[in-house]
Amino acid sequence: MRIIPVLDLKGGQVVRAEGGERARYRPIGTPLSSDAAPVSVARGLRTLLPFPAFYIADLDAIEKGAPDEEALESLQRMPDAPELWLDAGFAEEASLAAALARPGLRPVLGSESQDDTALIARFRDHPGLILSLDFFADGFRGPEALLSDIALWPSTVIVMTLAQVGSGAGPDFARLRKIKARAGGRAVIAAGGVRNEEDLRRLAECGIAGALMATALHGGALTPAQLARLSAL
């Protein structure tokens, strides 16, 4: 069970996600850091466990703004630099190819950012590529073929349930089981609503390879000892 902390970036700061309603996101307040600077929050999270990877949602880039290159570079300069799983609204071949070539970076192709399946068809066999299947309150967002045609899926697939992000409602186990049953040997990663050790153990029993987490880590729902045990599952 791989636990990947989430850093949602907006305006150069880490923000607290609430149900996918990005206009409501505000700079995070957390006992793990004295401020909302990306490196400060990442360092605080690493006091719980020396996480080797972080998921970065560059919300400004996803909303077609400028990518936060300064934040990425500062995170990559950290001691024992973490691998960064980056969703920056990739929708063009040149930017995705550049991200795939960048050391220490795994670009996340979000379904919500795609107009068609051209990019995923071009790069699906690249071992560094991650696909995020994005589900909002009104359902799946993106080309329907990205959800229905599993031949398009790369080796790692995130099931992102935005409506449950930050809600404490628990993962969408039914959806995760269905997608895992279709995914074959691909690594399926849960995102949205993961609350505690029990949720993570249930995900492991479903064959889920990992989970993206933020709220439960900042809220103290998982101790360092629990995280160490879960990472060994």
| pLDDT tens-digit map of 173-196 | 999 999 999 999 999 999 999 999
* CB atoms closer than 10 angstroms to residue 72: 21
CB 164 within 8 A of CB 193: yes
What angle (nearest 5°) sits at the alpha carbon of residue 33, between those of residues 27 and 35? 45
Closest by CA to 133, choosing from 113, 159, 107, is 159
Least reliable range by pLDDT among 70-79, 97-106, 111-120, 157-166: 157-166
* pLDDT at residue 167, rounded to an integer: 62
Query: How far does Cα 59 stand from its chain's mean position?
Result: 12
Mean pLDDT of the chain: 94
pLDDT reading at 96 higher than 80: yes
Tokens at 126, concatenated: 């690249």
Spatial separation of the C-alpha atoms in residues 139 and 38, rounded to whole Å: 30
In contact, 160 and 132? CB cutoff 8 Å:
yes
- CB crowding 34-49: b at 16 or more within 10 Å, else e: eebbbbbbbebbbebb
Residue 165 is predicted with a pLDDT of: 72
Q: Are 111 and 140 in contact (CB under 8 A)?
A: yes
**Percent over 70 (pLDDT), the chain:** 96
What is the number of domains present in the chain? Answer: 1
Q: Are 68 and 60 in contact (CB under 8 A)?
A: yes
Report the pLDDT value the prediction gives residue 20, as an integer from 0 to 100. 59
Q: What is the CATH number of the domain that holds 39?
A: 3.20.20.70
Q: Which domain holds residue 61?
A: 2-231
Residue 233 has pLDDT above 90, yes or no: no
